[in-house]
Amino acid sequence: MGLIVRGLIKRGGVWWVRVAVPADSRAAIGKTELLESLRTGDAAEAVRLATPIIAKFKQQIANARGQIYAPPPPNEPLTAALIEARVEAWERRAIRDAEVAYINGEAAPLVGDAKAERSEFLYALSQPDAAAKVQQFKDRMAEALGVPINHRALDQQQFQFWFREAWRAVERAKERFAAGDFSEAEDEAGEAAEGSQSVPTAVEKPTKGKSASKGGMTLGGLLETFLRQENPPEAADIKRAWRLFTEFVGDKTLATDIKPEIGADFLAKLRGLPKTRKPEIVKLPFLQAIDAWDGAKIAPKTVWKTFGHIKRVFAYAAKVELIVKDPMAPVKNEKPTRRNRVKKRQDYDPDEIQRLFLCPLFTGFSGKVDQGYRDKKGDQVVKDGKFWLPILALWHGARQDEFVSARLSEIKVMDGITYFDWRQRGLKTEESARELPIHPIMKKLGWGEYVADMTAKKQEYLFPDLMHDPENPKRAADRFSKWFGYWQDKNGFTSNHYDFHAFRHTFQRACRDCDVDNHIGDLLTGRKTPGTATDYGKGASLSTLARALAKVNYPTFPLAKYEPPN
């Protein structure tokens, strides 16, 4: 879906207002963008709600500049700062739209003549005279700036350079998405606009001591200096951590005012940060979100990583003498061990199993097969990877990437038992290399016919509809994981506790409920059983594993009824 109002974006099925903060106002506001959830997934309602919020954000920016916001007349000059901010906002929107398009199948990798044409386009876009070489360059630039096509700002070389670099960042992101790599989707957005000057320049040496602003460098200024000079690949994570910290201490606090006790207090509060995607909680400031939420908190490892970003920025500031002493150095931030981590996920209860597998993906959907999230009711049931993976995970407890990258050659039959043979595949642990029988219920669901069809088509992978990269098998799993997360949001499973890995927890609980021996359950799921006794005579026969797996049952599973053997 295209952008229907400038500043309106969609995340996880919910519309948000996002307005970029111009470079000349970031130090005062303490942020690079202003965000607010509209708490609706309806586009028409979002348009109605967005207008006053966008106006509020623009007024906030104007107040930071000490002037009243008013859009410039068509042929009056825009300020350089405003143009920079609009280019940055366009870049972020374009990358976000591209990410969603590749995840839900609306976009696909180019081949043949289209791929060659794209290569020529990327070369032209990289040239200094791209405005003359690239078709519709000025049209796209005018859209980004919100000006008519004849506005004189479009002819300024400096502004053309900013937009060209932003467009190139968008195209780089598209190439990653086409390859199934979504790991840096947040990092890409904004890099060109934030780091660009009128022409490419060498990295400037940071000014020692106080900044040019009166009274010293603000926290916002310190972060911008760090990002500009260090250019860290995890910039998006650092920005999110810094936003929490500035909300805690105040966005206009000077870096020199931060003391170790402030860092210790922030770390203590950080441990209570909610772990939820609910918009009404996510939109709240740091301390208010903590007070409003009585559910699960973020994991200790997340706390450790977040505070580690804060420590890293202050360590940099002390190193280049932007501050006299690192206030975070005395604050201990120990990496949590596996023993003291809190439980991240929980299993699906019987009602949730029934609700999940009655969704249109499994019972019938409408719309295009290769696009979207199959969340609208209809009469299509397509038994491909997106259909089979949740079912396989529920009834077998294997890891997501084990199923995603499975090959047809790994499905074998011995003594009448059909099974996955993963003994030769490089998996997560030694225990993961195993034989896994296929549950009897799969026959009722049409699994045998599916495998026969893939075999007749001479497919290499069991699920060829997923994007596979032989050089990086995890990319297909990462792509499906993103898609499944959006699918869960569309179907009401919005808690962070319910990701694909929750099926594994559900299976382990079912093993206990169905009197499957703990050690046999660990052999089925590829886990190491605690203790040394199991090191003697490792494993179990395929028939033993098959008999144990046949005990597992979910009475509320709605797609087929199964009665375990006596």
The CA–CA distances, whole Å, from 367 to 41, 222, 486 equal 18, 49, 17
| CA nearest to 396, candidates 528, 515, 503 | 503
pLDDT exceeds cutoff 70 at 68:
no
Residue range 233-256: average pLDDT? 82
Segment 324-350, tens digit of pLDDT: 889 999 998 888 775 554 445 578 999
In this structure, the answer to whether residues 98 and 153 fall within a common structural domain is yes
Q: What is the pLDDT of residue 199?
A: 31
**Which among 302, 325, 344 is the end of a domain?**
344
Beta bridge partners of 411: 420
pLDDT exceeds cutoff 90 at 560:
yes
Q: CB burial class (10 A; 0-12, 13-18, 19+) of residue 245?
A: buried
- Angle, alpha carbons 436-441-442 (nearest 5°): 65
The token pair that represents 288 in the structure block:
């208010």
Q: What is the pLDDT of residue 181?
A: 63
Average pLDDT over the chain reads 80
Pick 381 or 334 by higher pLDDT.
Answer: 381
Distance (Å, rounded) from C-alpha 60 to C-alpha 64?
Answer: 6
- Map residue 67 onto helix, strand or coil: coil
Q: What is the DSSP string of 431-445?
A: GGS-EEEPPTHHHHT
Residue range 107-125: average pLDDT? 74
Pick 358 or 118 by higher pLDDT.
Answer: 358
List Cβ<8 Å contacts ≥24 apart for 478-481: 478/180, 478/181, 478/182, 478/183, 479/103, 479/180, 479/182, 480/385, 480/386, 480/389, 480/400, 480/404, 481/400
Distance (Å, rounded) from C-alpha 101 to C-alpha 113?
Answer: 22
In this structure, the answer to whether residues 265 and 390 fall within a common structural domain is no
In this structure, the answer to whether residues 355 and 339 fall within a common structural domain is no
> Please, which pLDDT band fits residue 214 given cuts at 50, 70 and 90?
very low
In this structure, the answer to whether residues 338 and 402 fall within a common structural domain is no
Side by side, the strands of the sheet bearing 435-437 are 411-414, 417-421, 435-437
In this structure, the answer to whether residues 116 and 132 fall within a common structural domain is yes
| Residue 136 domain flag | yes
Candidate from 55-69, 152-166, 480-494, 548-562 with smallest mean pLDDT: 55-69
Q: What is the pLDDT of residue 256?
A: 82
In this structure, the answer to whether residues 535 and 397 fall within a common structural domain is yes
Segment 177-208, tens digit of pLDDT: 776 665 544 333 333 333 333 333 233 344 44
Residue range 466-474: average pLDDT? 76
Segment 407-465, tens digit of pLDDT: 999 999 999 999 999 988 766 567 788 999 999 999 999 999 999 999 999 999 999 99
Q: Taking a C-beta distance cutoff of 8 angstroms, is the pair 69, 59 a contact?
A: yes
Share of the chain above pLDDT 90, in %: 29
| CA nearest to 477, candidates 427, 527, 403 | 403
Q: What is the pLDDT of residue 356?
A: 94
| Residue 13 domain flag | yes
List Cβ<8 Å contacts ≥24 apart for 280-286: 280/37, 280/39, 282/37, 283/35, 283/36, 283/37, 285/247, 286/244, 286/247, 286/248
In SS3 terms, 409-426 reads as HHEEEECCEEEEECCCCC
In this structure, the answer to whether residues 408 and 432 fall within a common structural domain is yes
Q: What is the pLDDT of residue 205?
A: 41
| Residue 379 domain flag | yes
Distance (Å, rounded) from C-alpha 13 to C-alpha 37?
Answer: 11
Domain hosting residue 173, numbered range: 71-199
Q: What is the pLDDT of residue 342?
A: 44
| Residue 556 domain flag | no
Pick 500 or 559 by higher pLDDT.
Answer: 559
Residue range 95-108: average pLDDT? 68
Through-space distance between the first and last CA atoms of the chain, rounded to whole angstroms: 53
In this structure, the answer to whether residues 357 and 497 fall within a common structural domain is yes
Q: Taking a C-beta distance cutoff of 8 angstroms, is the pair 518, 412 a contact?
A: no
Q: Residue 206 is part of a domain; what is its CATH number? A: 1.10.150
Q: What is the pLDDT of residue 46?
A: 82
> Please, which pLDDT band fits residue 359 given cuts at 50, 70 and 90?
very high
**Which among 45, 69, 93 is the end of a domain?**
69
The CA–CA distances, whole Å, from 223 to 56, 336, 435, 442 equal 25, 26, 51, 54
| Residue 506 domain flag | yes
> Please, which pLDDT band fits residue 403 given cuts at 50, 70 and 90?
very high
Q: Which residue has the tokens 């597992």?
A: 552
Distance (Å, rounded) from C-alpha 118 to C-alpha 110?
Answer: 8
Q: What is the pLDDT of residue 209?
A: 38
Candidate from 35-39, 316-320, 531-535, 540-544 with smallest mean pLDDT: 531-535
Number of domains in the chain: 4
Q: What is the pLDDT of residue 398?
A: 93
Q: What is the pLDDT of residue 534?
A: 47
| Residue 258 domain flag | yes
CA 484 to chain centre: 11
Beta bridge partners of 413: 418
| CA nearest to 207, candidates 270, 267, 144, 255 | 255
The CA–CA distances, whole Å, from 274 to 85, 281, 326, 506 equal 31, 8, 29, 24
In this structure, the answer to whether residues 210 and 179 fall within a common structural domain is no
In this structure, the answer to whether residues 258 and 375 fall within a common structural domain is no
CA 565 to chain centre: 43
pLDDT exceeds cutoff 90 at 385:
yes
Distance (Å, rounded) from C-alpha 210 to C-alpha 324?
Answer: 10
Sequence-distant (≥ 6) Cβ neighbours of residue 370 within 8 angstroms = 105, 465
Candidate from 5-19, 179-193, 360-374, 530-544 with smallest mean pLDDT: 179-193
The token pair that represents 345 in the structure block:
């996920």
**Which among 199, 215, 241 is the end of a domain?**
199
In this structure, the answer to whether residues 363 and 231 fall within a common structural domain is no
Beta bridge partners of 193: none
Residue range 527-555: average pLDDT? 78
Q: What is the pLDDT of residue 278?
A: 67
| Residue 455 domain flag | yes
Q: What is the pLDDT of residue 347?
A: 84
In this structure, the answer to whether residues 334 and 395 fall within a common structural domain is no
| Residue 530 domain flag | yes
Q: Residue 542: which H helix or E strand, with range?
A: helix 542-551
